Structure 1
Amino acid sequence: MKARPIAAIVTAVSMTLAGCAGRPPAPLPAARALPVAQPPAAGAVLEGALAILDRLDEYAEDEAYRQVSERLAEWRRVQPVEAAVRPGGTNGVERLVAGLPERLRAPAASRDAADELRHLRDCCWLAGVARQGRDRAAAGEPLAVATELFRWTVRSLAIVADPPAVPTAAAPGSRWLMPGEILLAGRASASQRAWIFLELLRQAGIDGVMLATGVDGSLRPWLPAAIIDGEAYLFEPAYGMPVSGSGGNGIATARQAAAEASVLGALSLPDRPYPLQAADVGHLVPLVAADPSVLEGRGADMQAALDRLHGPRVTVDAAALLARACRAIPGSGEDRGGLWEFPFETVARRREDPARVRPALQAELAPLNIPTLPAVAARYAARSRRGTEEDGQGSAFDVEERAEAPRFLRPLFAGRVREFRGDVAGAREAYMASRPSAREIAEAVASAPPEARDGLTRTLERMREDAGYWLGIVSVAAGEDRSAVDFLERVTLGEHPQGRWTDAARVNLAGPLVALGRIEEAARLLRTDESPQRFGSRLRADALRP
């Protein structure tokens, strides 16, 4: 009776270890049936594709992607000719791509339908997060929205050192993840944080660019800025905080940072001065964050249709964005800037060095591919059956269907996707289902072939660890301080004191502790941060002193 689900679990782990991470296991027996695509108007076809991508947690993903691909192909067949207009035209795009190093231009010319689908999926997830940021911000004011999205980025993406901002032969990096993979993994380097933040700004309808110091040919990417009302507001992803304005008030603009030494000076510590000073930022260069799919992908021609559906933004008019950014930063108003190389470097590294990148991707995403354990599925089915029988709601068929269908095809993946779209209750439920007990893990492992047991055990324990941490993050985001403390302090730090989430749990735990009046504990935790964000954590700890 349990052989088929266990086989699916073992298959998921085996595929991951064999180099197929990021792809789901074979469809499970009770996967939700997908609607059959009909030949309606172009808008309805595209809307159907978006509806599936919005709820990938409810479908067997391979089949979902097939259906979305068919709908996109049908949309292209029936779309009005006037819809296929690329924002900014092709000349501006070609000029910007020509400014990249030659080895980074090749991926821009080799995108395919799978890249388009991945890009559209990622944009749907990013748009869901951006929508939540707008809802939480005061009256939707742009700077408040940008600040909320930066908070989400720092809170939700635990900082790591890999990949470097500028790879070298000695430090090539391996975690070259695309935006959707970064969101799923919940871990990011400072550059990946900046990339995600800028993508979120774009989905929220706010201009954003990466700022670089230096001159053409020797540019050094610095930090992302939100362009609002003719000013460039600065956010420091490596420190995990916005750059404070004059006297610690508000968020600094690029012009303030260039004119007042105290702005960047406030980011210095006695034993670690901030690497840039006011004189270094007197002439900044804006860089557009866009991977080849945004500039060259076939999704550019569907933006008008997506706008009518209030869908995600899948393209950017880079030339117009650069012009607006130039007017908001120190220096002359001359036309300058280009494309940020980091997203193109990501695509190039995946193509050039798969032997290094693929194992890193597998390591990040392996637990997300695990189907629901049989014991966990039985537990949720029994709970659903009892609820239906006790409240008298639904037919006998409802009772039988709830008893047979798994609540989640892949619970950890379901939790992530539900969190992106703002389904907090659903995300919590899925995360809880991703924390099997020691007995349930032992039962699942005992039913697996001997050669698969060690890998399965490690992956299931990782799934449990990841879910516990993300339950804490969901509680922090919801302002549920006691629940956040319970998950981050007791579950994450208590069960895994030297785990992969240790530093991130300490940093995210500080806020709820402060809210509960445990200020000295919060400061002490921040000072124990050993991550790349440690300098920002020390500044936060100093700010807590009376």
Structure 2
Amino acid sequence: MTRRFVTNSVFAGCLAVASLLITGCENKNQRELQQIQAAKTLSQERKDTIREAFRYLPQLIRLDRIAALKEIRYQLNTWSKSIQNPPEWKSPELLNSIAPSLLTIDFSKRMKDIEFGEPECEYLLQCQMLSQVARWVLEQPYRDGLFLDWLAAQQKTLPPEEGLRLETALKLFDWTICNVAMEGAPKDVEQLLTNPDLPISDNALIYRQLPWQTMMFARGDRWQRGRVFTQLLFSQGIDCVVLALPSPSGAVENASVRPWCIGVPIGEELYLFEPQWGMPIPSQSGDGIATLREAKSNPQVLRRAKIAGFFEYPVEQADLSKLIAMIDCEPFAVFRSMFTLQRSLAGDNRIRISMDADALEQRIQKLDETLSIRLWNVPWLSHVYNISLRQRLDEQSPFSMQYMDQHGVFIMDTPISRARQLHFNGQFESTVEADGALRTYMDFRVDEQTLKELMTDRAIQQELGIVRSPYEPIERFEMRLLQAQGFFRRSKFDIGIFAAMANGDLNKPETAIDWLQKRTLDVEGTQKWHAHAHYLLGRMYERTGQPKQAEAEYKFEASPQAAGNRIRIRKLRQKFSAELGEE
């Protein structure tokens, strides 16, 4: 064998080995590329599944939501089954503050599963609605002139992030008070409500409406309205507490404590907001908002909450030594399903649905170590009540007929329910492609002849969202038509207040004033909205530089918010002393 032949053989062998190595590397790289591509495809499929589920969420507002619910559950449970290594989750230690009797009602098992039933889907609907409202409200300037200068001064001293949180809280509180009318009596302010507990009751306060329902109906008691504010804050990553007093005898069980006000942690303070007043509690060291620290150290803060000759106030400085801080946390916000889903939300669907309750407890404890902190049982009771409500609305009964008579127009596919959704999306004006909230509100004015023809005309039934279901007995369908006639006839009186709210949100105070005066207060049948209409008129007059007219509207006595309106008059007189005179 020659040297040249040996050399060539060695060279050929090296080439063969190199070829095998290259082929092996190419195969490895190709496999890695395929794995990356498969992971991207799976990730995109998961996003598409979530996006499809969220697209159907608005349809859960309707009473007839079986088809939408089926699709949402299918999409979300398909997504959950694709999660092979879910993130580590643990239930919050604060869960111990929820009574075992309440936890065992459907919550204990659901909490640990990555599964989506009807309650979880309805909670996602609420989170979506709240996020949509907050999104456009926060893009607008803050318009309450009584606290505007103070806010600007605070933002110069607070860290930028905390200054933004304070502005966010003020904007969302203001929107809530203007867009949710309060039910009750003027003297309610003189007594704190006792916190509810099991068993649930149709006569109980606070928990018989979920926050999204209170927004839809635009009405609620002091704490139903307050919860719209707290959950709007939650949607923006701001967690707050409901400050409560023990019972007069000192008892601190859930069924004994008395909710007082809302404390929002900003910087090193808890700022106080009074849902019964529709006002933040005023500071006595300036023209701003009182903090819990100030209320504890300065007796004048709560002394000035009394309005001589008009209203007493049920809380004094001495009562603040044993406060309970109750976290308004929806049950599902601490569920494993929401914890896991939160990490997969992207784009327009990136909304807040999960809470670290234990982390909030630690933060609140640092702000005031004397507070006794727990989860508020009301959000849990609300969902228990809502499940019962849904079951009972499936059957014809005096209860279901009364409920539909009062709320049916909002939970069926009607022009007013569509208008409310457009309002919450910030779609006020019409475009070439679609009508906006204002136009849709106007379309709700159904004339008497149309209402009479509703009983027999299928086209009108279709237009107004009353369609006979397959296999539905004709007797039941005719009963629903009669109910619809009733609530359509009465609900046309709601249009004035809703159009006024929408124009207020658009910062068109003159147009809002017209709707409030001519289409609400001057129209027979609108009495349930009069108290709120007078309040909104006052706010619109403030915006147009007419403090005297504003003061006159706030003096309307038959308002559940009368005490808060008197506090507002006091602050107006401080600001416009030359025009209104001293307090």
TM-score (ref. length: structure 1): 0.76
Equivalent residue letter for 2:278: G
1:71 aligns with 2:75: yes
2:155 is aligned to none
User: Which of 453, 474, 477 is matched with 2:502 structurally?
Assistant: 474
Aligned alpha-carbon RMSD (Å) = 3.4
CA contact (8 A) 1:299 1:315 kept: yes
Q: Offset of 1:117 from its aligned partner?
A: 0.7
Local SS of the residue matching 1:306: coil
1:157-189: per-residue Cα shift (whole Å, max 9, x none)?
A: 111149965349999427701222122111111
Is structure 2 residue 454 aligned with structure 1 residue 444?
yes
CA distance in 2, matches of 1:167, 1:529: 29
3-state SS of 1:212 partner: strand
The offset of 1:453, in angstroms, is: 6.7
Task: Report if the CA contact (8 A) 1:155-1:473 is conserved.
Answer: yes
Q: Distance in 2 between matches of 1:504 and 1:236?
A: 17
| Superposed CA offset, 1:446-484 (max 9, x none) | 758987775333211233222321111111122211110
User: Which residue matches 2:237?
Assistant: 205
Moved more, 144-153 or 206-215: 206-215
Give the superposition deviation at 1:363.
Answer: 4.1
Q: Residues of 2 paired with 1:71 and 1:171: CA distance?
A: 34
1:510 pairs with one of 538, 545, 567: 538
Q: Secondary structure at the match of 1:234?
A: strand
Matched, 1:103 2:135: no
1:338 correspondence with 2:337: no
Residue by residue over 1:262-312, the C-alpha shift from the partner in whole angstroms, topping out at 9 and shown as x without a partner, is 222222101323211222223433211123222236323211112676522
Do residues 185 (structure 1) and 217 (structure 2) align? Answer: yes
Kindly tell me: are residues 445 and 467 of structure 1, through their superposed partners in 2, closer, same or farther at Cα, counting changes over 3 Å?
A: farther
The question of 1:490 aligning with 2:518 is answered yes
**In the aligned structure 2, how far is the partner of 1:116 from the partner of 1:450?**
33
Q: Quick one: distance in 2 between partners of 1:57 and 1:113?
A: 16
Q: 1:172 to 1:369 in 2, by over 3 A?
A: closer
Whole-angstrom distance in 2 between the partners of 1:109 and 1:360: 33
Distance (Å, rounded) in 2 between the aligned partners of 1:357 and 1:226: 38
Consecutive unaligned residues in structure 1, runs of 5 or more: 1-37, 372-409
How far apart, CA to CA, are the structure 2 residues paired with 1:264 and 1:307?
45
Q: After TM superposition, give the deviation of residue 122 of structure 1 in Å.
A: 0.7
Cα pair 2:244 2:261 within 8 Å, conserved: yes
Stretch deviating more after TM superposition (141-150 or 520-529)? 520-529
Distance (whole Å) between structure 2 residues aligned to residue 543 and residue 443 of structure 1: 53
Aligned to 1:299: 338
The residue that corresponds to 1:428 in the other structure is: 438
2:296 matched to 1:258? yes
Matched, 1:366 2:408: yes
1:531 equivalent in structure 2: 559
C-alpha spacing 1:193/1:370, structure 2 compared with 1 (3 Å) = closer
Contact 1:57 1:414 in 2 (8 A): no
Q: Using a 3 Å threshold, how does the CA distance of structure 1 residues 39 and 324 change in structure 2: closer, same or farther? A: closer
How far has the Cα of 1:240 moved from its partner?
Answer: 0.3
Q: Which residues of 2 match residues 327-406 of structure 1 at below 5 A? A: 327-329=366-368, 331-332=369-370, 336-350=372-386, 361-369=403-411, 371=413
User: Counterpart of 1:285?
Assistant: 324
Secondary structure of residue in 2 paired with 1:269? coil
**CA distance in 2: counterparts of 1:346 and 1:56, whole angstroms:** 17
Cα distance, 1:440–1:475 mapped onto 2, change above 3 Å: same
> Could you report, residue by residue, the CA deviation over 1:1-31 in whole angstroms, capped at 9, with x for unpaired residues?
xxxxxxxxxxxxxxxxxxxxxxxxxxxxxxx
Matches for 1:92-241 after TM superposition, within 5 Å: 92=92, 95-107=93-105, 108-109=107-108, 113-137=117-141, 141-161=164-184, 166-167=195-196, 172-173=203-204, 176-214=208-246, 216-217=252-253, 218-241=256-279
For 1:182-240, what per-residue CA distance to the aligned partner results, in whole angstroms no more than 9, with x for missing partners? 22111111111222211111111112111123374353221112111121111100000
Q: Supply the AA of the counterpart residue of 1:368.
A: F
Asked whether the 8 Å contact 1:524–1:541 carries over to 2, the reply is no
Change (3 A) 1:176 1:212: same
Aligned length: 462
Counterpart Cα distance in 1 of 2:242 and 2:400:
27
Contact 1:529 1:537 in 2 (8 A): no
Query: Which digits, 9 at most, give the CA deviation of each residue in 1:333-360, with x for residues without a partner?
Result: x8x4111122223234456787797566
- Quickly say closer, same or farther: Cα 1:301–1:288, change in 2 above 3 A: same
Q: Is the 8 A contact 1:201 1:226 kept in 2?
A: no
C-alpha spacing 1:110/1:269, structure 2 compared with 1 (3 Å):
farther
Aligned to 1:415: 419
- Equivalent residues of 1:244, 1:251 under 8 A apart: yes
Name the SS for the 1:257 alignment partner: helix
Distance 1:296 1:443 in 2: 49
Amino acid at match of 1:106: T
Q: Identify if the C-alpha distance between structure 1 residues 412 and 297 changes in structure 2 by more than 3 Å, giving closer, same or farther.
A: farther
Provide the rounded CA distance (Å) in 1 between the counterparts of 2:361 and 2:399. 31
Distance 1:519 1:308, change over 3 A: closer
Change (3 A) 1:369 1:142: closer
Aligned pairs for 1:263-274 within 5 A = 263-271=301-309, 272-274=311-313
Q: CA deviation at 1:75?
A: 1.2
8 Å Cα contact 1:370-1:411 kept in structure 2: no
What is the CA deviation profile of residues 40-76 of structure 1, one whole-angstrom value per residue up to 9, with x for unaligned ones? Answer: 5212221222233368799x95443332222112211
Does the Cα contact within 8 Å between 1:289 and 1:343 map onto a contact in 2? Answer: yes
Secondary structure of the 2:454 match is helix
The structure with higher relative contact order (CA 8 Å, sep 6+) is: 1
Amino acid corresponding to residue 339 of structure 1 in structure 2: L
The structure that has the greater radius of gyration is 2
- Could you tell me which runs of 5 or more consecutive residues in structure 2 were left unpaired when the two chains were aligned: 1-41, 111-115, 143-159, 393-397, 430-435, 462-476, 574-579
